């Protein structure tokens, strides 16, 4: 039998390669040049996980490819299921680490929250992934595998890069993954169905805005420099005021960069976890309105999901609603995100594989 998704040799994988690269690989393996397009279709449209599924490639050609490459598909090694229907999957990466991926069903919508790194360098005080620290960045295949090997893949309506890691700290691979997801030769999704979240990395923000048409979400969490610094060390390198000025250069209603030739219509969202006594006052709300005044955006308020050994506390529903109403009344469209999967540590800020790398599966079914 030809090598399949359980194979461990050879080292390089096809998942994540574009048609030009797949054409070169096909020729190297003795196949016709047009086999590159066929390979792309099997990988990204059909979602083939085994060489034997690629029936319009010759058996000899498939064997030649199997001697040089793996497809790159790995089934999840475990799953936890929440009482609200959310499922948290554990995936092993190509270099033997582990990441968590969350599937969130919500009526007719079904979202997958994808990880791009094992751990994270950003060190946000309210995030378990930040506490884990940085371990490794995921390759393109590792990122795409979380989508293509998700058991509920056919149900998906949205993809969010809001799992473990900072997307702009692994930009090349995140960008290549979204190219597969949005290209006609790939999954052919509208970029408006995909959101990339970032705390704001100076060297990467403009690249995200100019090279990628997907929706943008900024992890804000405090409108003032001093307050944000207390929560998010990344504020020191790229203050939120400077970040907002960069964002003002782009017209999110119509295009990417002003006067750009290629339309890049997408949504800009600011994520704001509400903490009791930290960023929930009337003056905080007023500062938030001032910061974002005139910017075509929305705010997504998020309940804080408590993590061990932190003085931070969330607010009650009445406080959340009052904060939302103030922002909305002052011209900033604001919503409250529904909390999902908290009972399985799958909610916002709770993903982590720290301390479990050697025996991760034990916590999963």
176 bridge partner residues: none
Nearest CA to 146 out of 206, 209, 102 is that of: 102
| Mean per-residue pLDDT, 312-317 | 96
Condensed to tens digits (0 to 9), the pLDDT of residues 226-277 reads: 999 999 999 999 999 999 999 999 987 654 454 444 445 789 999 999 999 9
Q: What is the pLDDT of residue 264?
A: 52
Beta strand residue intervals within 212-313, DSSP E? 215-219, 268-274, 298-303
φ and ψ at residue 136, rounded to 5 degrees? -165, 155
Marked catalytic residue, from 113, 120, 297, 348: 348
Reply yes or no on whether the pLDDT at 56 is more than 70.
yes
Residues 206 and 209: their CA atoms lie apart, in Å, by 5
Residue the block writes with tokens 């473990």: 164
Tell me if 137 sits within 8 A of 72, measured CB to CB.
no
Nearest CA to 333 out of 295, 302, 282, 303 is that of: 295
What contacts 160, CB < 8 A, 6 or more positions away?
111, 112, 113, 114, 194, 195, 197, 217
Please spell the DSSP secondary structure of 166-212, one letter per residue.
Answer: -GGGGHHHHHHHHHHHHSTTTT---GGGEEEEES--HHHHHHHHHH-
Residue 100 annotated to the active site: yes
Marked catalytic residue, from 94, 100, 166, 235: 100
Distances (CA, A) of 179 to 61, 140, 142, 174, 335: 27, 10, 15, 9, 29
Residue 230 annotated to the active site: no
What contacts 32, CB < 8 A, 6 or more positions away?
26
The more confident residue out of 307 and 301 is 301
Q: What is the pLDDT of residue 360?
A: 47
Condensed to tens digits (0 to 9), the pLDDT of residues 73-107 reads: 999 999 999 999 999 999 999 999 999 999 999 99
Tell me if 303 sits within 8 A of 274, measured CB to CB.
yes
Query: What's the whole-number average pLDDT of the chain?
Result: 91
Distances (CA, A) of 226 to 232, 299, 310: 10, 20, 19
pLDDT band at 340 (very low <50, low <70, confident <90, very high): confident
* Order of all β-strands in the sheet with 158-161: 78-81, 87-92, 98-106, 109-113, 158-161, 194-198, 215-219, 268-274, 298-303, 334-336
Q: What is the pLDDT of residue 256?
A: 46
pLDDT band at 203 (very low <50, low <70, confident <90, very high): confident
Residues 106 and 20: their CA atoms lie apart, in Å, by 38
Tell me if 65 sits within 8 A of 51, measured CB to CB.
yes
Reply yes or no on whether the pLDDT at 279 is more than 90.
yes
For the entire predicted model, the pTM comes to: 0.92
| Mean per-residue pLDDT, 215-220 | 98
Q: What percent of the chain has pLDDT over 90?
A: 82
Q: What is the pLDDT of residue 81?
A: 95
Q: What is the pLDDT of residue 144?
A: 98
Q: What percent of the chain has pLDDT over 70?
A: 90
């Amino acid at each position: 039998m030809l090598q399949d998704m359980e194979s461990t040799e050879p080292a390089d994988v096809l998942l994540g390669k574009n048609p030009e690269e797949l054409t070169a690989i096909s020729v190297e393996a003795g196949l016709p040049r047009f086999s590159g397009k066929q390979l792309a279709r099997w990988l990204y449209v059909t979602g083939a996980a085994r060489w034997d599924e690629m029936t319009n490639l010759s058996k000899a050609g498939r064997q030649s490819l199997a001697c040089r490459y793996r497809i790159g598909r790995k089934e999840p090694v475990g799953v936890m299921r929440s009482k609200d229907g959310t499922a948290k999957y554990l995936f092993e990466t190509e270099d033997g680490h582990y990441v968590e991926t969350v599937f969130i069903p919500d009526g007719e919508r079904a979202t997958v929250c994808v990880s791009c790194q094992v751990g994270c360098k950003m060190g946000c005080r309210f995030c378990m992934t930040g506490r884990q620290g940085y371990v490794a960045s995921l390759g393109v295949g590792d990122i795409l595998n979380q989508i293509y090997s998700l058991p509920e893949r056919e149900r998906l309506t949205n993809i969010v890069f809001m799992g473990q890691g900072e997307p702009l700290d692994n930009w090349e691979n995140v960008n290549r993954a979204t190219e597969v997801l949005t290209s006609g030769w790939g999954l052919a999704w509208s970029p408006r169905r995909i959101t990339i979240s970032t705390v704001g990395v100076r060297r990467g923000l403009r690249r995200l805005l100019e090279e990628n048409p997907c929706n943008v979400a900024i992890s804000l969490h405090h409108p003032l420099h001093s307050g944000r610094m207390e929560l998010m060390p990344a504020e020191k390198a790229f203050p939120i005021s400077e970040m907002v000025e960069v964002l003002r250069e782009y017209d999110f209603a119509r295009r990417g960069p002003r006067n750009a030739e290629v339309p890049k219509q997408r949504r800009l969202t600011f994520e704001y976890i509400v903490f009791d006594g930290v960023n929930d006052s009337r003056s905080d709300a007023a500062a938030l309105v001032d910061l974002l005044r005139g910017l075509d955006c929305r705010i997504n308020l998020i309940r804080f999901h408590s993590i061990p050994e932190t003085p931070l506390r969330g607010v009650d529903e009445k406080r959340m609603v009052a904060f939302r109403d103030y922002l909305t009344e002052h011209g900033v469209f604001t919503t409250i995100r529904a909390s999902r999967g908290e009972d399985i540590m799958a909610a916002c800020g709770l993903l982590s594989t720290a301390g479990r790398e050697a025996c991760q599966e034990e916590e999963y079914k």
